[in-house]
Amino acid sequence: MAALISKSIEKAAKILNSGGIVGIPTETVYGLGASIFNVNALKQIYQLKERPSTNPLIVHIANYEQLQSVVKEFPEKAEALTRAFWPGGLTLILPKNKSISSVISAGKETVALRMPDHKTTLKLIQLVGPVAAPSANPFERISPTSARQVASYFPNELPMILDGGKCKKGLESTIVGFNKNKVIVYRLGVVTIEELENTIGKVYINNDNSSKTVTPGMSKKHYAPITKTIVSKDFEIVIEEFKEQKIGVLHFNEFVAPKGIVAVSLSKKQCMEEAVSNLYHQLYHLDQLKLDYTVVEPLPDIGLGKTINDRLKRAAHL
């Protein structure tokens, strides 16, 4: 049966409460959602995504009462961060309550959680309780930013995809953890390093893929198109090298494409926020064109540009 795309929150709640999996919208990317209380559904998420069981899931909550049911400790700096960025694109790694399944935490004593900034999904979570939801894509593929993209990945595997429109942010959450009094960034995301440090002072980055998987998004290869992807500022050199191939260019700065080259812009206004929201959408679009190569321009390595460059590095084939 083909996945049903629907705006019915009540129908989605019924499926989740009966142990099913639903594609759900957030402001960052779409997720594959299951009740945190249904272990079988949680295991099915890993199977659907072909995701390693060592890679934890993120729990999504709708209010602070639900937070207390998920974690057993809530550091002062965590409280400061939630005041500044919840609901929104910040995920915290905190010591979990014993009631949280090890399937969610991948056997760890911590749990990743956030409060999404999406009215539809907040209403859903208020109805069913906390929901575990990794991105709604096969492992290592581009995260989806629309219900139709989810359906293209899982055309027959889901009973329903809750349509919440195009994702407002279009890129995953920032993930931070705590080591004594230090705040550690494990995944760059829509909340920037600068924003974090303006709120709580110095933070430390540990998103190296050579480290063990502490949080989602730390794999060396991730967020990748099927099309071979090259990250380079030197479009002309790459185009000349592969001139006999079908090439697409994804650019941030102005670029006049030679004849026969497909070129799409991350932001015609050269706006970093717009570039972030368009990144996965445009990579997905180029992937549908069956090109031989996609050449992507890295962004200035500050703020959200640093986040985009991290995604591009993990998506690149060459």
The reply, when asked if residue 60 is annotated as ligand binding, is yes
The reply, when asked if residue 309 is annotated as ligand binding, is no
The reply, when asked if residue 186 is annotated as ligand binding, is no
The reply, when asked if residue 143 is annotated as ligand binding, is yes
In terms of Cα–Cα distance, which of 177, 127, 136, 176 is closest to 155?
136
The reply, when asked if residue 133 is annotated as ligand binding, is yes
- Hey, which residues does 183 pair with through a beta bridge? 178
The reply, when asked if residue 141 is annotated as ligand binding, is no
The reply, when asked if residue 114 is annotated as ligand binding, is yes
In terms of Cα–Cα distance, which of 297, 247, 310, 246 is closest to 267?
297
What gap in Å lies between CA 186 and CA 200, rounded to an integer?
16
Residues 304, 220, 284: CA angle, nearest 5 degrees? 60
The reply, when asked if residue 135 is annotated as ligand binding, is yes
* CA-to-CA dists, residue 123 to 20, 23, 63, 305, angstroms: 18, 15, 11, 32
SS3 265: strand
The reply, when asked if residue 187 is annotated as ligand binding, is yes
The reply, when asked if residue 293 is annotated as ligand binding, is no
Binding residue numbers for L-threonine: 28, 60, 114, 133, 173
**Binding site membership for ATP: which residues?**
51, 55, 110, 135, 143, 187, 223
Annotated binding-site residues read 28, 51, 55, 60, 110, 114, 133, 135, 143, 173, 187, 223
